[in-house]
Chain A
């Protein structure tokens, strides 16, 4: 019938694989030769990459603009605290945080999926506020002032720092790698179709609702893990901090700056955001002014994000999720 064959990897992506795998190995070995201050900084960065990747999964691939992901971040954070209170190892709470956030997201989806567009965005924010208000009512987890995670004192500081770092690295690899594999799967194809034309996707056999629901639950689980890591790192949970809407603002910033709807964009956006945060921290609120200015500049001059700018709109993908047909006729043209 045909000699055409379909390729999914590109030359760039093969080079990228050759760089990414050794890079992860080098990063994994970092606690053995780098000072604790470096790995601590990287924990913050990795948590941001996880958050950005999850928000991109929701908005860039699932078409769901959420302003309420801090709700799941907070649930993840409090899962660590509760695990600590009942005497579980706080590190064990990281995978449990994913599970709990995902389980809470499932019934939440039935509520917020009744809303579309801007209403969905506000609806998710309201849900996150409800989570915060409910948490504050529980005296056992410190009410409005929060509480400290004490179980980690059983670990020597150096070991504790290293294990937190490895947790964060594992979460990053799982988030970025997971989104990549997801987008290459049947579900990824469905999501891209839904993003472009939901009605046509429905007519072509795509279960639009359930595809979106899976994404909503996965993104919540990812944000839960990020929340758990943030708490392990700071050793303290405060409801106003972990449930703060600023997390959503950060996620949107990172994804929009980096490049919505790409795997690479959120990673780049997280690095830029983290660098700005670190460089500008001595200048107080000027930090927010610069963030705003960068967002405006990106909206004006890099509408497809920094990744779009770097690739100049070309078909460059370090993590290719699409399909390219190499037909026999193509060689002659």
Chain B
């Protein structure tokens, strides 16, 4: 569903993303881990179209979207959530999600409204539908990020630390939603620092370091890789299996 070859982006002299290749099949989850500053969010911004790549090629369902804008990529089936939630603060939760249903999924009228409401139900936000998004607490902001992305009817869903800042009690709910999304056939790319949460869901894992792919494979294999342990897991190595 998502095929990326040689994706590269520099800021000044620094290669933040360096010749990254990745493939995500329909109905599978690719987890991305890596130390802070490894280029994970930049990679996601390149995939989503918020940033343009200096070199490389991005295909979404066989269609070349390398030069398409973020808005055009969204309409082609690329949904994304932001690490720091970016709600439309002056709009209600429902209206926030409706933006995705109307502009991302190109639905109209009652069809769009039903789809938006359904996204709220899937993310347990329906009771907050009329709340101003700016008044939401962190967990609900994370849910809203997810609900908006889902309302775009994504074929590829990019998640940027959707679990970041949440408690262990709050995590399983979001993981459950990701599982449902995958079961519906969507390809998911999920960046997360909470490695044990990621390892529970992902089919394949990719470790990024200094902008380049350090290791890719099953979660077990990647986390057992000595170089991955050295650059990323370090002292946390005992913790990931929790």
| Interface-lining segment among A126-134, A173-181, A204-212 | A204-212
Q: A199-B86, A200-B82 are in contact. Are A323 and B92 (CB under 8 A)?
A: yes
Cross-chain contact of A202 among B71, B90, B95 (Cβ < 8 A): B71
Residue of B nearest to A186 (CB): B102
Q: Is B148 on the interface with A (CB-CB < 8 A)?
A: yes
Q: Is there contact, CB below 8 Å, between B90 and A192?
A: yes
Can you list 26 residue pairs at the A/B interface with Cβ under 8 Å? Answer: A2-B117, A4-B129, A6-B117, A189-B98, A196-B90, A197-B86, A197-B88, A200-B86, A202-B71, A202-B74, A204-B71, A204-B104, A204-B148, A204-B149, A205-B104, A205-B152, A206-B71, A207-B69, A207-B71, A322-B95, A323-B92, A323-B95, A324-B94, A325-B92, A327-B126, A327-B129
- Shortest CB–CB separation between residue B63 and chain A, in angstroms? 15
Q: Is B113 an interface residue (CB 8 A)?
A: yes
**B43 within 8 Å of A (CB atoms):** no
**Residues of chain A lying within 8 A (CB to CB) of residue B130:** 324-325
Residue of B74, B91, B127 touching A192 (CB-CB under 8 A): B91
Q: Which residue of B lies closest to A329 (CB)?
A: B127
User: Do the beta carbons of A201 and B94 come within 8 Å of each other?
Assistant: no
A197 to chain B, nearest CB (A): 5
Residue A190 interfacial (CB < 8 Å): yes
Quick check: A197 and B71 within 8 Å, CB to CB? no
Residues of A within 8 A of B (CB): 1-2, 4, 6, 186, 189-190, 192-193, 195-197, 199-208, 261, 322-325, 327, 329
- A330: shortest Cβ distance to chain B, in Å? 9
List residues of chain B with CB within 8 A of the CB of A1.
114, 118, 121
B193 within 8 A of partner (CB): no
Give bound CA distance, A99 to B118, whole Å: 42
Contact between B127 and A2 (Cβ–Cβ < 8 Å)?
no
Q: What is the bound-complex CA distance between A324 and B91, given in angstroms?
A: 11
Interface pairs A-B: 7 shortest CB-CB: A205-B104, A196-B88, A205-B74, A325-B129, A205-B103, A200-B86, A202-B70
How far, in angstroms, from A115 to B103 measured CA to CA in the complex? 25
Of B70, B89, B117, the contact of A196 (CB 8 Å cutoff)? B89
In the complex, the answer to whether B69 meets A202 with C-beta atoms within 8 Å is yes
Q: Which residues of B contact A322 (CB under 8 A)?
A: 91-92, 95
Report the nearest B residue to A192, measured CB to CB: B91
Q: How far is the CA of A178 from the CA of B143 in the complex (A)?
A: 35
Residues of B within 8 A of A205 (CB): 71, 74-75, 99-100, 103-106, 152
Residues of B close to A203: CB separation below 8 A: 48-50, 70-71, 74, 80, 82
The answer to whether B99 and A204 touch across the interface, beta carbons within 8 angstroms, is yes
Taking CB atoms, residues of chain A closer than 8 Å to B118 are 1-2
Chain B residues, CB < 8 A from A197? 86-89
Q: Which residue of A lies closest to B95 (CB)?
A: A323
Whole-angstrom distance from the CB of B48 to the nearest CB of chain A? 6
A4 (CB) vs chain B CBs: closest residue: B117
Q: Report how far A195 CA is from B49 CA in the complex, Å.
A: 20
Determine the distance from Cα of A329 to Cα of B126 in the docked complex, in whole angstroms.
10
Contact A323 B94, beta carbon cutoff 8 Å = yes
Are B152 and A204 neighbours in the complex by a CB distance under 8 Å?
yes
Minimal Cβ-Cβ distance residue in B for A208: B71
Complex: A6 Cα to B149 Cα, angstroms: 21
- Whether A323 touches B103, Cβ cut-off 8 Å, given contacts A196-B91, A202-B70, A208-B71, is no
Q: A192-B88, A200-B82, A202-B49 are in contact. List 6 more A-B contacts (CB 8 A).
A: A1-B118, A190-B102, A192-B95, A205-B106, A323-B94, A327-B126
A227 CB, nearest partner CB in chain B, Å? 32
Q: Which of B103, B108, B114, B127 has the most chain A CB within a 10 Å cutoff?
A: B103
Nearest residue, chain A, Cβ from B134: A196
The CA-CA distance from A197 to B91 in the complex, in Å, is 11
Query: Which residue of A202, A207, A323, A327 is within 8 Å of B113 (Cβ)?
Result: A323
Which of chain B's residues 58-103 have a Cβ closer than 8 Å to chain A?
A: 69-71, 74-75, 80, 82, 86-92, 94-96, 98-100, 102-103
Report the minimum CB–CB distance from A262 to chain B (whole Å). 11
- Are B88 and A200 within 8 A (Cβ)? yes
Q: Which residues of B contact A206 (CB under 8 A)?
A: 71, 99, 103
Chain A residue at minimal CB-CB distance from B120: A325
Q: Which residues of A contact B86 (CB under 8 A)?
A: 197, 199-200
A190→B103 contact, CB < 8 A = yes
